[in-house]
A and B are shown apart, each in its own frame.
Chain A
Amino acid sequence: MLLPIYSLILFFITRNSFVEVAIGLMASLASMQEGVMDNWTFAITMIVVGMGGTLLTLWILSLLMGLLKKAFPYKKEE
C-alpha cells in the first residue's frame, strides 16, 4: 500500500516515469534482501512487468482510440 504512494511522491520529485520509479523501488527492496539481482528474479520481472506493461499500455491506447472515435465520429462526406 505504501509502495504506490511513495512511488507517486518520488515521481513528482525526480520526474522519472512512474513505471521506472516503481520498478526501481521494487528492485531495491529485492536487492536489499538478496544482494545483486539474480537471473530468476530478472526473468520473472521481465515476464510479469514487461508482458503486463505491454498489454496494459496497448489496452489504454485502445480505450483512448475508442474515446477519440466517439469524440470525432466519421462523417460520410470524408
Chain B
Amino acid sequence: MWEAITGGINGLIAGFTNLHWSNPIMIVVGCFLLYLGIKKDFEPLLLVPIGFGAILVNIPLTGLMEEGGFLKIIYDMGVMTEVFPLLIFVGIGAMTDFGPLLENPKIFLLGAAGQFGIFLTLALALALGFTKLEAVSIGIIGACDGPTAIYVTSKYAPHLLGAVSVAAYSYMSLVPVFQPPIMKWFTTKEERMINMGVVRKSASKTTRLLFPLVVTVIGGLIAPKGLPLLGTIMLGNLMKESGAVSRLTKASENEIANIVTLLLGISIGATMDGRVFLKPQTLIILALGFLAICLDTACGVLFGKLMKVMSGGKINPLIGAAGISAYPMSARVVQREGQKYNPKNYLLMHAMGANTGGQVGSVMAAAVMLSVLKGIGII
C-alpha cells in the first residue's frame, strides 16, 4: 500500500528530480526567445514557436522527442525529410516581387556579392576546428535565409540545427542594428549621397513569366544539388506571375506558409535540448553566424563601390548592403540610410532589386556549395 502511494508520489515529482542543470537554463533561453518575438517583434512567426518548443523539450520525462513523441513525429516528417523549408520557399516565392530586380538585371551581381560572407565564414569555422560539414552549416547562416539554413543543416549537421536556426532568424531581425555602421565604414559621404533616380517599369509580363523558368533550368543545370531550393522558390514566383492559379498562390502565401512555419518553428525548438545546445561551440556558432552576415554586408557594399566605378558613378554603393537575403528589411535600411545623407534620394526600389537578387543569390550560393561538395566527394 505504502509502496503504491510512494510510487505515485515519485511519479509526480520525477519531473523535478530528473532535471538536468541545463534544462532550467534552456527554459530561460526559450522565454527569452519568446520575449524577443512577442515584445520586441523580432521575427515573431519563428521565434515564438521556436522559443516554446525549446521550453517543451527541456522539461524532463515528457517523451516529446523520443520515438512516437509528437515533436519527434513532426521533426521526422518535415525537418529530416527537408519538406518544411521547401514548402516555405514556395510561399516566399509567391510573396516576392522580382520586378525591381528585372528592371536592372546587373543588380544580380550584388546578390552574389552579398553571399561572400558564407564562404569566408566557412573557412574560418574550419580553422576553428569544426568538421567540413559543420563548417558548411555554420557558413550558411550567412545566407540570412532561414529555410536555406535549415535545409542544409538538417541534412549535413542536424546536431547544429538549433543553434544555426536561432542564429539565422535572430540575426535577420537585427539587420537594422548592425548594417548601418558597416555601410558607413565602407563608404564616403559623397558615395552615400549618389542619387540613382527613379526605377522605371521596364519588364514585360512575358519576361516576368520566363524569369522563374530560366533561373530554375540554368541554375539547376549548374548546381543540381540545390534544385529543390531553387525550384520551389521559383515555382511560387511562377504561380504569382502567371495569375492563373491565384487560389494556389494565396494558399502558398497564407495557409501553407503559416502551418508549416508553426510546425517548423516548434520542431526546431525541440532540438534545443540543454544537453545538446549548451556547449561552448554553440556560442562560437552564434558568433560566427553574426560574423557571416557582417561579412556579407561588407562584401556587398564593397562590390557596390566597384559597380559604382564601373558604371561611372551612377550606382550608390549603399544598395550593396541589400544584397543579403533579409527581405525586405535590408532594403528599408538602405533607403533610410540613403535619405539620412540626401533626403531627395529614393533608393528603396533599387535596394529592393538588390534584396530580391540576394534572395536568389542565397539560394544559388547554397546550391553551388552543395554541388561543389558533391563534386569533391564530401557528400
Contact = CB atoms under 8 A, between A and B. Distances in A.
Interface string B89-133: 000000000000010011111011101101110110011000010
A20 B361 contact: no
Contacts of A51: 115-116, 119
A46 B372 contact: yes
A54 B108 contact: no
Interface in A20-78: 20-24, 27, 37, 39, 42-43, 45-47, 49-51, 53-55, 57-66, 68-69, 72-75, 78
A46 B112 contact: no
A75 B364 contact: no
Contacts of A61: 105, 108, 214-215, 218-219, 360
B122 A46 contact: yes
A74 B119 contact: no
B218 A74 contact: no
B221 interface: yes
B113 A55 contact: yes
B325 to A, nearest CB: 13
A21 B224 CA distance: 12
Nearest to A65: B105
Range, interface on chain B: 35 or more
Q: Is the interface of B mostly helix, strand, loop or mixed?
A: helix
B369 A46 contact: yes
Given A55-B113, A62-B108, A20 B210 contact: no
Given A58-B364, A66-B105, A75 B372 contact: no
Nearest to B131: A39
Contacts of B112: 54-55, 57-59
Interface residues of A, number: 38
A68 B364 contact: no
Contacts of A57: 112, 218-219, 222-223, 364, 368
A6 to B, nearest CB: 14
B30 to A, nearest CB: 34
Given A27-B375, A64-B214, A50 B207 contact: no
Given A43-B126, A62-B109, A65-B102, A17 B211 contact: no
Interface of A: 17, 19-24, 27, 37, 39, 42-43, 45-47, 49-51, 53-55, 57-66, 68-69, 72-75, 78
Interface of B: 102, 105-109, 111-113, 115-116, 118-120, 122-123, 126-127, 132, 136, 201-207, 210-211, 214-215, 218-219, 221-224, 357, 360-361, 364-365, 368-369, 371-372, 374-378
14 contacts: A19-B371, A24-B377, A27-B375, A39-B126, A43-B123, A51-B119, A54-B365, A54-B368, A57-B219, A57-B223, A58-B109, A59-B109, A69-B102, A69-B203
